[in-house]
Amino acid sequence: MPALSIGEEAFELDGAPFRIISGALHYFRVHPGLWRDRMEKARALGLNTLETYVAWNFHSRRPGEFDLTRWRDLGAFLDLAAELGLHTIVRPGPYICAEWRNAGLPTWLTSRPGIRVRTSDPIYLRGVAEFYAHVLPLVAGRQITRGGNVLMVQVENEYGAYGDDKAYLRTLVDLVRAEGIDVPLMTCDQANDEHLSRGSLPELFTAGTFGSRSLERLETLRRYQPTGPLMCAEYWNGWFDSWGQHHHTTTFDEAARDLDDLLGTGASVNLYMLHGGTNFGLMNGANDKGVYVPITTSYDYDAPLREDGSPGPKFAAFRDVIARHAAIADAAPLPFTAAPAFTVPLHRGPAWTGASDGPGIRFDHLPNGDEVDAEAFFWRYATDVGPDAGALAFGEVRDHALCFLDGVNIGTLYRHHRERTLRLPEGTGGRLEILVADLGRVNYGSRLGESKGLIGPATSRDADLTDWQAHGVDLDRALDLARNADTEPLDPRRPIGGPVLLRATFEASGAADLFLATGGWGRGVVWINGFLLGRYWSTGPTRTLYVPAPLLREGANELVVWELAGAPEPEVRFVSHPDLGHTEP
């Protein structure tokens, strides 16, 4: 069987020099019905390899559960790439960053008391070993050494930005090898001395990550990869978007020049991203470097292939560069085609805050969300307050709290505003209910794995509040309530207030993608035909949600919205083009 080896000057594939020209394509961010389309466009760009992370929490929502079927069928993804003549690089972490919820780590794991992630902590390593035991055998069977297309497997991910425990890295190597992985193993770190010295192992292939000044970065990398090929494992050709900020773009000509410089040295490359895709199902991550900033549902990344898979300006520019360094046999893909545009009226369903799910679990203290249900995206808290409470203060709110007194909305608290004090009506006691939303689990830095929900203590003007009931909100129940409730048409001239479940049906052809406009809505989540599409928020920048064609049915389709704030018009608009928001001038 052929094998990839690390030669003195280059990669060698079956004994012949080989340069990796790769692009990142995350199976968990692209509907499986569109994998082939994106892969064919990768070939048309001139790529010979695809790279993907493996998101542990995409496969394991609960302890003891692991799913490798349908959308989660990593083996099918790798096989399809092989069918199309593409090699693959697999990066199973366990930490992946990737602007993905909790950096791919399951919250049922990171919520365990005392756990120390990304270390030699036995509790953490037992979980990692179980993860590897599920996923790596199917990778092992598809290695190039066994007739498959997997060239390399990565150990950890940019570990030098987090720690320097070489024993931990070597334990991961042992765990990976124990599952039958015999292709070269690699590490990657940002191409600076600090990170490369901390995160690499001399016995493994060392790659760098960067998005500019390619020649300078490669010189730095050479100090840690003294012989053999050089590789940029993440050539950052764009950037991700965060709620409340602008839509990030970079100029295609500058990115193309840096790529040309990189390839001109003979180095290998992995474009991050080839195609970003979408953070479906509320699986976006967040950053917190002093200010909490959650990632948008769109992961367009200003990549060569846009969120909907159409070629952007970087596609043509990069294709021209790659053609100067490698042969390209496939024709360029067709340009973007406008989507169907139409408007659909919404029907009102029940007002809903999760209270009908039941009283929940009783606690003698204010529990954080992970104590209640670590895998939830929303939590409902309830307690009684007296008429002299006056105000209520929490240790912290993570991340967005809607507060109700006897069913009346009395305020909203936002984490990114550092709000944690709620004013209560004077002389009015009653049942206090708080609906808390997780806007995104931190995926980078020291706050990785932090708890969500309300963080105690909870104090009022006249007492500490220690008697609480809480539960994780069941989003499947919300969908069922919207589907089965008697709905009423809404006056198109009148605004609607939330939290409320709304429903609409519309006709569509399954052959075309759609773009759901959200610019007039407040904040909430959307389902299409029972699939949790994602989160929207009026703070922007994103003003549309991408609806992949495979989610749609010929004829009648169902849309459900859980609007938490309100909207000026009770209608749904599908528009012809995506609107990812304003950019910096």
Q: Residues with catalytic annotation?
A: 158, 234
* Cα–Cα distance for residue pair 184/391, rounded to 1 Å: 60
Longest dimension (CA), the chain: 82
Two tokens, residue 299: 């992961």
Angstrom CA distances, 224 to 199, 218, 333, 574, stand at: 11, 10, 39, 51
- Surface-to-core class of residue 112, CB atoms within 10 Å of its CB (0-12 exposed, 13-18 middle, 19+ buried): middle
* Cα–Cα distance for residue pair 111/99, rounded to 1 Å: 19
Write phi, then psi, for 221 (nearest 5 degrees).
Answer: -60, -35
Containing H/E element for 108? helix 107-110
Containing H/E element for 563? strand 555-563
Go through the chain and tell me how many residues it has: 585
Instruction: Specify the residue for token string 């390399």.
Output: 152
Beta-ladder partners of 412 = 402
Dihedral in degrees, nearest 10, Cα atoms 489, 490, 496, 498: -10
Select from 458, 374, 314 the least CA-distant residue to 101.
374
Chain-centroid distance, C-alpha 335: 26
Contact 5, 184 (CB under 8 A): yes
Angle at 221 between CA 220 and CA 224, to 5 degrees: 110
Q: Tell me the CA end-to-end span of the chain in Å, nearest whole number.
A: 53
